[in-house]
Chain A
Amino acid sequence: MSRSRSLTIGAVISLMILLIAAMSFIWVPYDVTQLSIPDKLQRPNWTHWLGTDHFGRDLFSMIMVGARTSIAVALLAVGIGIGLGVPLGLAAAARQGSLLDEVIMRTNDLIFAFPSLVIAILITALFGAGAMNAIIAIGIFNIPVFARVTRGGALSLWQREFILAARVSGKSALHISVEHILPNVSNLLIVQGTIQFSLGILAEAGLSYVGLGAQPPTPSWGRMLADAQTMVSFAPHLAIIPGSAIILTVLGLNLLGDGLRDLLDPKVRKGRG
């Protein structure tokens, strides 16, 4: 698949999921908290486009509201990663080789060594299951990722003439980092942000699946899958529909990330030609 095509397809899928999530704030076909046992376990039909679950709840409505949960958790987790990781990466690059740089980078290496899912489960289980703790648990592991990407991008910039000029003119390291380095690493951050966003969607689904994500009655895709597990042999649509929603979202974001990397990273662009 050509890169520009992956950008287009990725952007269309991602936008569609975002729109569905946004729309759920103003309109859903059915109330997701309303149980209707006579309508339970319906296959997709004209009244219930994606069918109903074992409580007779409309699956399409649940997917819409579930999108909101997934996106909110993954997006805020990316926010934590950028909010803390980027300043750390900038500081490490500004003081390359210093004790600060060494401490930041070694701590990063250490966090990478932790099995993220186990720690996320540990945090959510010990501090209480819920969307907020899921965000923190996923977000913590985004910090070293963004710190590393920022440091890597910033290090090469510090050698460039325009940065030298800024230094000669007497600007402080902080000033240069914010004014000159940050805008120039933003492309890298956008690409990495898209990737971490899609990983966050998967992580949120995993946590919700084991009951540690958003709590009922808030629908979430992972929890829908957990509920489906015992009924999957006679009502496969209960598993196929939320699973497809997760796959489509992650696929869309990954394609978008690939496309953006090509669009924004001149090295890749040059390498292709």
Chain B
Amino acid sequence: MTSQHPQPLISARKLTKRFGALTAVDGIDFDVARGEAFGFLGPNGAGKTSAMRMVAAVSPPTSGELRILGLDPAVDGPTIRGRLGVVPQENTLDEGLTVRENLYTYGRYFGLSRKTAAERSAELLEFAQLTDRAKQIVEPLSGGMKRRLTIARALINEPDVLLLDEPTTGLDPQARHVLWDRLFRLKRRGVTLVLTTHYMDEAEQLCDRLVVMDGGTIVAEGSPRELIDRYSTKEVLELRFEADDHAPYAPKVEGLADRVEVLPDRLLLYTEDGDGALVAAHERGLTPLSALVRRSTLEDVFLHLTGRTLVD
């Protein structure tokens, strides 16, 4: 824990969620401190959304302990939800209402007065860069605008924690960057962020600390930097050969790097010195179609921990 606060904002012990025979979340422990940007990184089906829905106090845990703002969601659900802002993965905007009406009606759900709901709606339209769309129906807006509106809506109650489930999935690169910019602003203001993502670049950009999830369990925890230092090397050499199957090339690069991962379309050589490894590969007479030296990312961490890639 990096926080000076005696008690975390969110705290889970052996948190478990089962749907019939399927165990979506399998006894995970984690804490989130105030002001922190905390991430769940993992592929689809890792249990991130199920974990998030329990933290959002909408999905009752099957077993384990969960405290949000020190409260038990089974007892104080409405009060906890009153202090959370939720950006769900699926769009739950009312597309038949206007942009402003979406903010206003949502604010009223929290018990805000008409005046407060109207004032905050105006501020948040500014924040979401949607002021000129205020009176338009939501339905025809672009995906990026809808997502910004969803984030603005989640802020209407000035929440202690903003929960974002796959905030930029399905958005084009430009819309993602606009959205990340908005989230950075919130982070600088001290809003606690909890997000799930299967994009390693998103996790690296936004998260102070994250847990890597796979198959309903947490397989690693730390800051993006720590995780990369712990589970990967400084550099990665990617080699692509003219072949449909790269497995036969693995023995040929043996000894050139600390570790080699074989993907269907390329080899990944984990080493402290990518350029040196490439020179050594050429000296062995290997002639890859392409060679790329890059820094390690969380993708490499995930690959090392699970043997699989994040986005399949």
Answer whether A and B are interacting partners.
no
Residues of A in contact with B (beta carbons under 8 Å apart): none
B interface list, Cβ under 8 A from A: none
